[in-house]
């Protein structure tokens, strides 16, 4: 345990930090330039790129916390060394909260219901749900609640690790952040038990909150872009997509961390294999959810539901993108992660992870953009707006993620299920 | 007592002990001979109480057979099914029994792949239940066709009648899904039985019981337990597990699409496929517990089906209960959000009945779908809540009572879907009422009789637990001794 604690603390290397800051500045710059110049089209593209990245990166961060919750609930031993890597997503939560707040300012551009509500026989039947004050207030409430509980959960998880690190390496380990975390921390042995039992209580509550809250975020921020369309499965489909994307990202992070910190005896090849199998399984689950949503709507062919799919799967250029997404997010990870030999090559699964993340980004893109364009005038607009704003989000996500990770033990050293070697059981 | 958490100073971490150190079965205390004896003892000549129980189930089955005879003889008009309610108790029963089957495949295949050790003691019985439940379920569509003797028309093959099935119909997909599921389940079940059949065969030969040996020998497929055989066996088992896993999803998804593909309000909704799958696992696991908890008490199997196994199944029941609760909630939310008057009307009708005439005390009598709705919510969402407590999960009797509630709730969930939507479709002039007739109730009772009769016979003729896998799960005696434990 001592070796892990010694290796854990790090500051982000200057060149990476500089790069991430450049990304952030480029992204923020593009955001303001896009809003101020370029007229209506520029405004729309800026906001849509902003929305895509907000829901995408927030979704990844939510899924990260969610996986830690799942490992806590299921007592799964294989996931232990990745627990902290998942929890470090908490670093992004304050920023994602700000991003959602910023989206509210773009709702006039993004959400048609703000100026042209859906009418059924002349009655605005959806106004009870789709009105700006309620939209803003309920989402702020959801987000605050989920983030507060998430932070509470992450805190109960890192506290004993920090305390143990201090016990092993002296009381100045971790500096100010650790001081703050350990404020009011009593006897280690008692606290460890107390926090473990507390964590077992928070975890199910957070899982429920995330399932419901995450669904409402998906329904509110993405589904209402096309205000006529509705689907009960949409929330689940979005959450499964988030989890898939996060697992992909975790593959990348886990392999990188493993090489960089020399913790091969915790993140063993067997565990990386488990992680790769998880990405494989989520490809299948994602495809299953997507298919379940697609075929029901396709078959019934109701006028209020079908356009959403017709636009995406039959109108060019979206039809091509639709096909590429099926190949990219389902077929390639499915076939590519099927052979056992390949799943055990760290650099190979890292590439797969990056591929899945990019694929899932386009899934969100295809959810958002076709809803915002006029019927029959479809075009893929990929340019500076999309590229730079995405880079900006990458910058913020990784800067906050790495900053958080640098302050805590990189592996949950006090965890009850952590063991050094892995016998496959 | 509940969960204990202790700090282990040498390891430097908390040790949580939820199940008194037993990973599924009481691994440390049993030896091979004891497992063999106890398992084979379960197949001994039954006691009179067994025959009494079997008689009860056979009487239920007889009632079902009688009702079935009347139904087939008189025709489908003898049931309460009539326009506009074309699907009544029969389709409800079909969906219910298909759902019951899912737990077996989940436990035997999915938990095998995810290496969940607690499956060992219960998977054989659960798998048998899968086979019997699918057999029970299969009766209902046949019956529902009205002329079951023409059911082979559903099989697509070139024929002199110039008939070709309608591949566009989800009902035909169902035929393929269910038959595939049934054949894979049976094969997987038989495959798992092979090593145990060899034990039974050898035992029968040793005791000179020729008839038994004659039955068991072909099922053992000349099993000798050589390395060579084990290698192929384990490969085959893994492949079957991998094949059966997608079937857990596909079968009930397709059953759900019997409903969701239509444009009937309350049926047509995208969440149906995963919602039905979760519901099927929910009801299946509950049925497994409903059957196995009494069996554990009767045969004294507390060392095998430990409290840890019951707890693990209970946790799965909580999990699937929450998924089902989520699906109910999202249906209501989207029903409201859709803005469609038909969607809103059906989701008002289900809990509260007629919109205009509804009052708190009400002159109108409560209708059947309303009872079904509230039973469904109570039994599926509220009744499993006590399982969150360790103490309740650890109490086999409490779990048993809760799982009975779940079984009732899941039956009524299906009835709620089938009944309410068809009673109130689009045009009020075409609304109708549905009450089952005595034959439908009789056949429903009979289906339970059929299922339990089969299971009761199974429990005395095939080993209800996987003897070989139980042995694998114990600590190897030699190595154990060497470690000095």
Residue A280 pLDDT grade (very low, low, confident, very high; cuts 50, 70, 90):
very high
Weakest mean pLDDT among B7-11, B83-87, B135-139: B7-11
- B211-219 contact pairs (CB < 8 A, 24+): B219/B190, B219/B193, B219/B194
Give me B325's structure tokens: 């609760």
| Rounded Cα gap, residues B79 and B65, in angstroms | 15
Nearest to A232 among B246, B270, B340 (CB): B270
Residue B100 pLDDT grade (very low, low, confident, very high; cuts 50, 70, 90):
very high
Decide if A390 touches B, using CB distance below 8 A: no
Residues 6+ apart with CB under 8 A from B63: B442, B445, B446, B449
Helix (H, G, I), strand (E, B) or coil at A124: coil
Total structural domains within chain B: 1
Total structural domains within chain A: 1
Give B459's Cβ-side CA count (13 Å radius).
23
| Rounded Cα gap, residues A102 and A97, in angstroms | 9
- Phi-psi bin for A10: left (phi > 0), alpha (psi -120 to 50), beta? beta
Residue B23 pLDDT grade (very low, low, confident, very high; cuts 50, 70, 90):
low
Within a domain: B179: no
Q: What is the pLDDT of residue B14?
A: 65
Q: What is the pLDDT of residue A196?
A: 85
Closest-CA distance of chain B to residue A416, Å: 5
Whether A257 and A349 have beta carbons less than 8 Å apart is answered as no
Q: What is the pLDDT of residue A60?
A: 94
Cα torsion A108, A112, A114, A115: sign: positive
Q: What is the pLDDT of residue B484?
A: 44
Give the other-Cβ count within 10 Å of B345's Cβ.
18
| Rounded Cα gap, residues B139 and A137, in angstroms | 53
Within 8 A of B339 by CB-CB distance, chain A residues are: 118, 120, 125-126
DSSP A82: G
Q: What is the pLDDT of residue B2?
A: 46
For B240-272, give the DSSP string: HHHHHHHHHHHHHHHHHHHHHTS--TTT--TTH
Q: Which helix (H) or strand (E) holds B4?
A: strand B4-8
A152 pLDDT higher than 50: yes
Q: Which helix (H) or strand (E) holds B15?
A: strand B13-17
Within 8 A of A234 by CB-CB distance, chain B residues are: 270
Within 8 A of A232 by CB-CB distance, chain B residues are: 269-271, 327, 330-331, 334
| Rounded Cα gap, residues A216 and A139, in angstroms | 8
Q: Compute the residue count for chain A.
A: 425
Longest Cα–Cα distance in chain B? 81
| Rounded Cα gap, residues A187 and A167, in angstroms | 11
Give B27's Cβ-side CA count (13 Å radius).
20
For chain A, give the percent of residues with pLDDT over 70: 98
Answer yes or no: do A300 and B274 touch at CB < 8 A. no
| Rounded Cα gap, residues A206 and A198, in angstroms | 12
B16 pLDDT higher than 70: no
- State how beta strands B4-8 and B13-17 pair: antiparallel
Within a domain: A316: yes
Residues 6+ apart with CB under 8 A from B254: B170, B173, B174, B177
B10 pLDDT higher than 80: no
Cα dihedral A230, A235, A240, A243, rounded to 10, equals 140
List the domain range (segments joined by +) for residue A184: 2-405
Test mutation, A292, A297, A425, chain B, max B CBs within 10 A:
A292
Whether B38 and A223 have beta carbons less than 8 Å apart is answered as no
Within a domain: A417: no
Within a domain: B454: yes
Mean per-residue pLDDT, B284-312? 89
Give the other-Cβ count within 10 Å of B68's Cβ.
18
Decide if B9 touches A, using CB distance below 8 A: yes
Looking up tokens 């050094």 gives A420
Within a domain: B418: yes
| Rounded Cα gap, residues B53 and B479, in angstroms | 44
Nearest-CA residue of chain B relative to A187?
A: B7
Q: What is the pLDDT of residue B472?
A: 81
Residue A412 pLDDT grade (very low, low, confident, very high; cuts 50, 70, 90):
confident
Decide if A419 touches B, using CB distance below 8 A: no
The number of helices, as runs of H, and strands, as runs of E, in chain A is 17, 0
For chain B, give the percent of residues with pLDDT over 90: 43
Within a domain: B470: no
Nearest to A414 by CA among A122, A162, A46, A59: A162
Within a domain: A149: yes
Q: Show the DSSP H helices in B300-386 as ranges.
A: 307-337, 341-352, 368-377
The ipTM (two decimal places) reads: 0.91
Test mutation, B323, B331, B338, chain A, max A CBs within 10 A:
B338
Within 8 A of A225 by CB-CB distance, chain B residues are: none
Give me B320's structure tokens: 């699937």
| Rounded Cα gap, residues A175 and A171, in angstroms | 9
Mean per-residue pLDDT, A286-314? 90
| Rounded Cα gap, residues B253 and B251, in angstroms | 5
More confident residue, B27 or A48: A48
| Rounded Cα gap, residues A213 and B256, in angstroms | 26
Within a domain: B477: no
Give me A385's structure tokens: 């707006």
Longest Cα–Cα distance in chain A? 72
Within a domain: B41: no
Nearest to A43 by CA among A277, A372, A280: A372
Within a domain: A315: yes
Within a domain: A170: yes
Within a domain: B388: yes
Residue B7 pairs in a beta bridge with B14
B357 pLDDT higher than 50: no
B61 pLDDT higher than 60: yes
Residue A378 dihedral angles phi and psi, to the nearest 5°: -95, 140
Give me A323's structure tokens: 């096909």
For chain A, give the percent of residues with pLDDT over 90: 49
Within a domain: B109: yes
Residue B15 dihedral angles phi and psi, to the nearest 5°: -115, 115
Whether A189 and B7 have beta carbons less than 8 Å apart is answered as yes
List the domain range (segments joined by +) for residue B410: 47-165+246-465
Residues 6+ apart with CB under 8 A from A210: A62, A65, A66, A69, A146, A239
For A85-112, give the DSSP string: HHHGGGGGHHHHHHHHHHHHHTHHHH-G
| Rounded Cα gap, residues B24 and B42, in angstroms | 20
Give me B446's structure tokens: 């009979």
Answer yes or no: do B337 and A232 touch at CB < 8 A. no
């Amino acid at each position: 345990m001592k070796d892990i604690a010694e290796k854990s603390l790090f500051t982000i290397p200057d060149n990476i930090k500089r790069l991430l800051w450049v990304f952030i500045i480029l992204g923020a710059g593009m955001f303001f330039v896009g809003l101020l110049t370029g007229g209506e089209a520029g405004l729309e593209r800026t906001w849509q790129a902003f929305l895509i990245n907000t829901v995408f990166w927030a979704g990844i961060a939510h899924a990260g916390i969610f996986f830690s919750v799942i490992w806590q609930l299921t007592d799964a031993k294989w996931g232990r060394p990745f627990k902290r890597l998942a929890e470090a997503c908490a670093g992004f939560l304050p920023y994602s909260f700000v991003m959602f707040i910023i989206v509210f300012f773009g709702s006039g551009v993004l959400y048609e219901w703000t100026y042209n509500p859906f009418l059924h026989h002349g009655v605005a039947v959806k106004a009870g749900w789709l009105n700006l004050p309620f939209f803003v207030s309920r989402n702020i409430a959801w987000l605050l609640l989920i983030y507060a509980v998430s932070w509470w959960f992450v805190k109960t998880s890192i506290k004993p690790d920090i305390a143990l690190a201090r016990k092993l390496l002296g009381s100045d380990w971790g500096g100010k952040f650790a001081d703050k975390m350990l404020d009011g921390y009593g006897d280690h042995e008692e606290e460890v038990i107390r926090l473990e039992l507390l964590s077992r209580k928070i975890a199910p509550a957070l899982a429920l909150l995330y399932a419901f809250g995450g669904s409402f975020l998906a329904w509110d921020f993405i589904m209402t872009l096309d205000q006529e369309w509705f689907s009960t499965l949409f929330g689940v489909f979005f959450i499964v997509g988030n989890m898939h994307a996060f697992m992909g990202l975790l593959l990348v992070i886990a392999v990188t961390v493993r090489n960089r910190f020399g913790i091969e005896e915790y993140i063993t090849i067997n565990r990386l294999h488990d992680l790769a199998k998880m990405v494989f399984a989520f490809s299948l689950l994602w495809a299953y959810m997507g298919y379940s949503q697609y075929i029901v709507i396709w078959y019934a062919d109701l006028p209020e539901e079908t356009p959403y799919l017709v636009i995406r799967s039959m109108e060019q250029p979206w039809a091509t993108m639709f096909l590429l997404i099926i190949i990219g997010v389902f077929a390639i990870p499915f076939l590519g992660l099927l052979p056992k030999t390949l799943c055990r090559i760290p650099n190979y699964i890292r590439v797969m992870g990056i591929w899945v993340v990019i694929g899932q980004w386009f899934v969100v893109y295809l959810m958002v953009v076709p809803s915002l364009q006029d019927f029959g005038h479809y075009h893929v607009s990929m340019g500076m707006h999309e590229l730079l704003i995405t880079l900006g989000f990458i910058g913020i996500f990784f800067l906050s993620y790495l900053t958080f990770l640098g302050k805590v033990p990189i592996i949950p050293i006090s965890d009850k299920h952590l063991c050094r070697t892995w016998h496959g059981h | 007592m509940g969960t204990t958490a202790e700090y282990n100073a040498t390891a430097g971490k908390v040790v949580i002990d939820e199940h008194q150190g037993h990973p599924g079965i009481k691994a440390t205390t049993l030896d091979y001979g004891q497992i063999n004896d106890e398992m084979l003892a379960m197949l001994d000549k039954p006691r009179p109480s067994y025959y009494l129980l079997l008689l009860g189930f056979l009487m239920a089955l007889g009632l079902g057979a009688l009702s079935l005879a009347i139904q087939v003889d008189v025709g489908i008009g003898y049931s309460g099914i009539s326009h506009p309610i074309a699907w009544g108790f029969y389709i409800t029963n079909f969906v219910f029994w298909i759902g019951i089957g899912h737990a077996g495949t989940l436990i035997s295949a999915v938990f095998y792949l995810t290496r969940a050790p607690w499956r060992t003691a219960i998977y054989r019985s659960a798998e048998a239940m899968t086979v019997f439940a699918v057999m029970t379920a299969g009766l209902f569509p046949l019956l529902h066709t009205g002329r079951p003797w023409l059911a082979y028309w559903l099989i697509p093959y070139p024929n002199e009648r110039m008939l070709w099935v309608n591949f566009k119909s989800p009902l035909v997909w169902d035929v393929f899904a269910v038959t595939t599921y049934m054949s894979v389940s049976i094969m997987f079940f038989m495959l798992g039985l092979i090593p145990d059949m060899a034990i039974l065969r050898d035992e029968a030969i040793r005791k000179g019981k020729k008839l038994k040996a004659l039955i068991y020998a072909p099922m053992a497929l000349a099993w000798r337990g050589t390395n060579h055989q084990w290698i192929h066996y384990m490969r085959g088992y893994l492949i079957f597990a991998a094949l059966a896993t997608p079937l857990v999803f596909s079968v009930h998804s397709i059953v759900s699409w019997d409903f969701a593909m239509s444009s009937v309000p309350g049926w047509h909704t995208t969440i149906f496929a995963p919602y039905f799958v979760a519901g099927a696992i929910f009801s299946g696991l509950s049925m497994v517990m409903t059957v196995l908890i009494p069996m554990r008490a009767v045969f004294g199997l507390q060392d095998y089906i430990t409290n840890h196994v019951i707890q693990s199944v209970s946790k799965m029941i909580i999990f699937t209960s929450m998924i089902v609760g989520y699906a109910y909630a999202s249906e209501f939310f989207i029903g409201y959000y859709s803005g469609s008057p038909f969607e809103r009307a059906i989701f008002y009708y289900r809990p509260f009945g007629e919109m205009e005439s509804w009052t708190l005390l009400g002159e109108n009598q409560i209708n059947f779908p309303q009872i079904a709705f509230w039973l469904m919510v109570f039994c599926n969402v509220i009744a499993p809540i006590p399982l969150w407590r360790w103490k309740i999960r650890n109490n086999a009797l409490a779990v048993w009572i809760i799982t009975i509630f779940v079984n009732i709730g899941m039956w009524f969930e299906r009835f709620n879907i089938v009944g309410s939507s068809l009673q109130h479709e689009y045009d009020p002039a075409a609304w109708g009422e549905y009450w089952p007739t005595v034959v439908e109730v009789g056949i429903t009772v009979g289906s339970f009789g059929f299922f339990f009769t089969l299971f009761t016979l199974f429990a005395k003729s095939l080993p209800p637990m996987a003897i070989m896998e139980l042995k694998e799960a114990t600590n190897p005696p030699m190595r154990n001794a060497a470690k000095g434990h």
